[in-house]
């Protein structure tokens, strides 16, 4: 039996960051298998065989209807019970960009489980009305997330964003406060001084409170719009020749998840 945690990196039509996500986990000391959703639905692969599930970026099913909707419904309707057991067992889940959108559509975020209740959040179109692709500053919250705390990352980090539907919205304003109260806000867009902001372009989508990364109440499900798999090496930083990017924050996140799994 391998001592390396085994990660299921989910594939689906339109997902295009699965190879980079798998490489990031492998660089952090895990082993991965890229598994197509059709293999899961056909029973050829089971989530029970893995210690973590990664949903990476891209445009699953062409983002038909809205980003992440079709794959989210597919997982909710056909794998809901299995996903609930997966999380109840303490196994980790990370959703990046489109993967975050999928997790919100299933209801796993921010609630932590799939139920018959309507989803409690959405990732809506950017206020700018266009696809936004740039590096952003992120304030790291004091959250319950087991993989992305200030202890390992520090108060402010940099990661690249690339999305057209990344504005995290909830039906009632009070619901945002509940996320902060329960320690579920992991990342917020920040200005040049490291302060959370709703102002464009530091906040590329207009997300209220600058929210761009959330976790479930247990802290083992992480959804985030920025792409940590695109910053696992110093030379991926646009100003690395000027001495910037000496701490690849994405690599730290993947290492933290891997270390958590090794302790299971």
Residues in contact with 10: Cβ distance below 8 Å, sequence separation at least 6, in sequence order? 18, 34, 35, 36, 37, 40, 53, 54, 55, 56, 99
Per-residue pLDDT of the chain (264 residues), as tens digits, is: 458 999 999 999 999 999 999 999 999 999 999 999 999 999 999 999 999 999 999 999 999 999 999 999 999 999 999 999 999 999 999 999 999 999 999 999 999 999 998 899 999 999 999 999 999 999 999 999 999 999 999 999 999 999 999 999 998 888 899 999 999 999 999 999 999 999 999 999 999 999 999 999 999 999 999 999 999 999 999 999 999 999 999 999 999 999 999 998
Does residue 236 sit within a domain? yes
User: Would you call 111 helix, strand, or coil by DSSP?
Assistant: helix
19 belongs to the catalytic site: no
DSSP-derived pairing of the beta strands 132-140 and 156-163 = antiparallel
- Residue labelled with tokens 């975050």: 100
Does residue 152 sit within a domain? yes
8 belongs to the catalytic site: no
Structure confidence at residue 1 (pLDDT): 43
CB contact at 8 A, 176 and 211: yes
Does residue 1 sit within a domain? no
Choose among 141, 131, 75: nearest CA to 103.
75
Q: Which two tokens stand for residue 232?
A: 């696992």
Residue from 17, 97, 105, 145 carrying the catalytic annotation: 97
Furthest C-alpha separation in the chain: 52
The domain of 194 spans: 6-262
Q: What is the total count of domains within the chain? A: 1
Does residue 47 sit within a domain? yes
Q: Model-level pTM greater than 0.95? A: yes
CB contact at 8 A, 32 and 22: yes
229 belongs to the catalytic site: yes
- CATH, residue 133: 3.40.50.880
Q: Could you give the angle at the alpha carbon of 13 between the alpha carbons of 11 and 19, nearest 5°?
A: 40
- Residue labelled with tokens 């464009």: 200
Residue from 17, 74, 163, 227 carrying the catalytic annotation: 227
Reported as a single tens digit per residue, the pLDDT across 196-224 is 999 999 999 999 999 999 999 999 999 99
The 10 Å Cβ neighbour count of residue 107 is: 24
Residue from 20, 165, 229, 237 carrying the catalytic annotation: 229
């Amino acid at each position: 039996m391998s001592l390396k945690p085994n990660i299921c990196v989910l594939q689906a039509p339109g997902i295009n960051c699965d190879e980079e996500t798998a490489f990031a986990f492998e660089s952090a000391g895990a082993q991965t298998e890229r598994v197509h959703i059709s293999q899961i639905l056909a029973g050829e692969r089971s989530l029970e065989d893995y210690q973590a599930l990664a949903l990476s970026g891209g445009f699953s099913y062409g983002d038909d209807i809205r980003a992440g909707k079709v794959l989210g419904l597919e997982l909710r309707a056909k794998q809901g019970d299995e996903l609930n057991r997966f999380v109840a067992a303490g196994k980790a889940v990370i959703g990046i960009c489109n993967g975050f959108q999928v997790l919100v559509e299933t209801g796993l975020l921010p609630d932590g489980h799939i139920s018959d209740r309507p989803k409690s959040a959405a990732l809506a179109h950017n206020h700018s009305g266009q696809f936004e692709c740039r590096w952003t500053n992120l304030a790291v919250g004091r959250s319950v997330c087991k993989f992305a705390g200030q202890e390992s990352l520090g108060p402010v980090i940099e990661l690249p964003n690339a999305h057209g539907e990344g504005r995290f919205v909830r039906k009632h304003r009070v619901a945002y406060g509940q996320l902060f109260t329960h320690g579920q806000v992991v990342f917020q867009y920040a200005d040049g001084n490291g302060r959370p902001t709703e102002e464009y372009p530091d906040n590329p989508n207009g997300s209220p409170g600058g929210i761009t990364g959330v976790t479930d109440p247990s802290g083992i499900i992480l959804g985030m719009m920025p792409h940590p798999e695109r910053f696992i090496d110093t030379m991926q930083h646009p100003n690395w020749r000027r001495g910037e990017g000496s701490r690849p924050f994405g690599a730290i996140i993947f290492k933290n998840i891997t270390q958590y799994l090794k302790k299971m």
